[in-house]
Structure 1
Amino acid sequence: MTNIIDGRQLAKKLNLQTKRRVECLAKRKIQPGIALILVGDDPASLIYTRNKHRRTTKLGIHSVLKRFPATVDQATVMATIKQYNHDESIDAIIVQEPLPSHLDGQAITNAIRPDKDVDGLHPLNLGKLYGNQTGHYPIACTPRGIMTMLDHYRVNPAGMNAVIVGRSILVGKPLAALLTNADATVSVANRYTKNLPALTRQADLLVVAAGSPHLIKKSAVKPGAVVIDVGINRLPSGKLTGDVDFDNVKDIAKLITPVPGGVGQMTIATLMQQTVDLAEWRHNG
């Protein structure tokens, strides 16, 4: 019988652990803080950022939500990041993607202090991840959340043939590094990959983050595979669906994440977890 990965329940468990850590810090007169920067009026980004802001409040994390119109200039965003870099009440900074095309997203990411880079996208943090270095540094929240899911469900990547569909800096690339560091054999596919189903059928662990509804059909999945669907797509009917044809693939997968109720819940929970990590690392030295 197929096991459906319950991202909601696992996120609740992680949030409870995070709340307890926040309470422990409060006894030392320390409150973790996060600055959320939103540019423009993208509906999905607005909902996502508000959900993050509400979650921080529930967990006792100090949260600042800074909104800019889509017409904001680069200098204003950079000045805001500089302000939060020097703000002692802020441990974590996140700039919500996507950004308007006139803004230099790479320069904005690089401007965030590495020790406040809660998204784990600063070149220094990415370099440490790819180098499999020891010590404390933030890791992209969705990939870290996926690794937490795998650990909870006792999926050991060592020796597994892992295929990631999607090579974004937010998911595909950092996850490839994490799985490589965990001794998996990793292939990363993209829109130019020839005969994608032939590649995905070889995967013991298949992670799909392509942003294309029902891209992966049952025929493209190896029976007994672990399938992690990162995609969140809204159909014309208004229904949310993933990149995997869940209703059919669940019949042959060993483990599979639903959409919604899977990876998305863990991404936000991991963001909260990592915000507290940054506060602890900063104050504990």
Structure 2
Amino acid sequence: MDWLERMNRALDYIESHLDDEIDYTVMAGEAYCSEYHFSRMFSSISGISLSEYIRRRRLTLAAFEIQKTDIRIIDVAIKYGYESSDSFARAFHKIHGIKPSEARNKGVQLKAFPRISFQISIKGDVEMEYRIENLDFELRIIGKSKMVKTSRAFKTIPTLWNCAKKDGFMQKLIDMSWENPKCKLEGLLGVCGKEAAITDEEFDYFMGVRYDGEITDDMETLIIPQSTWAVFPNVVEAWKRLYSEWIPTSGYELANLPCIECYYGPKHKPRHELWVPVVPK
């Protein structure tokens, strides 16, 4: 079963559970992927967050039911996962621009969001540089975490680092940084989803460095077990192409560990890299 077929199996699961509870572990399992990576992969490829896609599909089906049947609005709301008619009405209005009860009026205009079907085209006209790093030891990372909205990650994360530079936290990390690194992962580290679990709307972004010494009470410790990593230069470009271009053709699966953004010193080339945990297929 290839990558594209697995992703569409996950979509089949979503579609068959729109009027039921969706088990995100099962859904990601259909794609042979962890929950951590599935939501980011989905958003990267489709251009819409996973939760927003599910919300739009449910409200599309809800509108069809209200139009075609005499079912009570509250029953439709409960069927599609809303705890009250008020919360359903707000969500319905946000998508369709009218109240649920108004959907029964003749000639009213509604919005239908069709089911997504993944079809991917690999152009191959621009190469992707990468290397494989096998780390046979655990990574002990010291730092702090911040909650980041997934949809604004590319804007928020640089701002977090700029703030860390201004308030002295970045210099504190530099002062703690590994003096004799065991591998090339020795810069300032941004760990995307410190618990190896990422929600669709937001995730913990852990800012830190590898460090084996004593820490102060205002710092957290993050341990990442030994793993194999695919390493890409240029963090922003790598994020844009990872899920749609490299993973489908690489012969690797994504491991159930967080990705790491590594930012090096001024004279290092490249200036930053994306470390992605992988396992061979």
Short-chain TM bin? under 0.3
- When normalised by structure 1's length, the TM-score is 0.25
- When normalised by structure 2's length, the TM-score is 0.25
- Which has more strand, going by share of residues? 2
| Structure number, greater radius of gyration | 2
